[in-house]
A = this chain, B = another copy of it.
Amino acid sequence: VKTILAAAVAIASTIGLPGGSARGAAPNVVILLADDLGYGDLGCYGHPTIATPNLDQMAREGLRLTSFYAAPACTPARATLLTGRYAPLAGLPNVLGPDATHGIAERELTLAEALKGRGYRTMAVGKWHLGHAEPRHLPLANGFDAYFGLLYSNDMMPPWVETGKPLELWRGNGPIERPVEQSALTARYTDEAVRFIQGAKGEPFFLHVAYTFPHVPLHASERFRGRSRAGLYGDVVEEIDWSAGRILETLREEGLEDRTLVIFTSDNGPWSNMPDRMFRGDVIKKWDAGSAGLLRGAKGTTFEGGVRVPCIARWPGRIPAGRVSGQIVATMDLFATALALAGAPAPADRPIDGLDLWPLLSGAGESPRRECFYFLGTRLEGIREGRWKLRAPDLVEPRADRRREDGLELFDLEADPGERFNLAAARPELVERLGRRMAEFAAAATGDGARRR
């Protein structure tokens, strides 16, 4: 894979600061990624009834981010995490269904490939969702030494999605269980992760655990079912909290805490109004949904509730404990940061949207990110710059019967994180400036398509 990139990679410069002495030895990287977990779903983000003691403690021991941006849906969020690029620019703007034939492009350099190039052992556990029709789309062809999980979402089966394929659990390049027993998944993912860490034997590793839940249909193991105060959704999130705790505990037991960067986050916001088709079969209930907390909107929108999610970073001794930051950070920055920490070169033949967060994580400085863009599919719907957010879904490419200025909203996200007060009429100069920046970015991305994609 990606042998065509070898030359480009070889001549590329590393991102940001040198990965060597200033940061110490290259750390292990563990990414724990929940599915459809909302901004408000953890205790440390204010949920009153879901108990997440392990993640709350992880936050107390590390850095909790309150302006962390993922994507409005699963596939684009994962594409961004693994390529360091906005999803449409990495060619995966939309969710892949079970019968999709495309997937992550061979020419992309994935985070796993980059770290593997620096001697890391790599494993992906859980949901993949970056293509499954051909071997070249699978985890093992994209930098992971090992894989155990579901290749796409757990509702991508009858009665919710029309497909002839049963939902399968895979190990490596083939199915091992068909249909999969979903209630055991979180526990089995945890076992796989624990065993992988225990087998590291001093070699650096990259572990990517992408939980199947709390995406619907919800399933908790018997041990967690009925345990939370917050119904089945709470049970499922509390099992994920347990899993995160078990993985952190394993790092402690193995003496790897001080050599491991752990990130916990989500791919997108929670369901709000699930489409009617989701209620077929009487398994999914409309209240099997998370909370975006004080944020507006939900999954599938570019309101904050759709894209802003919890993110906790922990690395004892290197990331100072107990901090909370509202600086802007986005999923692709995790890619850039991990590469920089590992001293891995980033591709020089295409723009990488991610930025190295080490100044923010280490406490030495600020997030280098001053702006981020909101895509819904291939549509550029908005921009955040500092405290300001312009939502202008038709500005760049108006839909039929829409004008460029339709639905235009300007929010001060620091004073009004709930996007309640549209200041567009009051601040035309900001609308003008941010709109221009959106158009510029879109033009560069399109006009420069060959280079970017």
Contact = CB atoms under 8 A, between A and B. Distances in A.
A439 to B, nearest CB: 28
Interface stretch (A41-49, A152-160, A198-206): A41-49
Interface in A314-332: 324, 326
A8 B391 CA distance: 64
A45 B46 CA distance: 5
Interface residues of A, number: 33
A362 interface: no
B326 A48 contact: yes
B229 A49 contact: no
Contact of A48 (B67, B286, B287, B289): B67
Interface stretch (A133-141, A363-371, A410-418): A410-418
Contacts of A415: 49, 229-231, 233-234, 287
Interface in A46-91: 46-49, 66-67
Contact of A326 (B40, B229, B292, B293): B229
Interface string A324-354: 1010000000000000000000000000000
A107 interface: no
A294 interface: yes
28 contacts: A40-B293, A46-B47, A46-B294, A47-B417, A48-B66, A48-B67, A48-B326, A49-B66, A49-B326, A49-B417, A229-B326, A229-B414, A230-B414, A231-B412, A231-B414, A234-B414, A286-B421, A287-B412, A287-B416, A287-B420, A287-B421, A289-B420, A291-B294, A291-B417, A291-B418, A292-B294, A293-B294, A294-B294
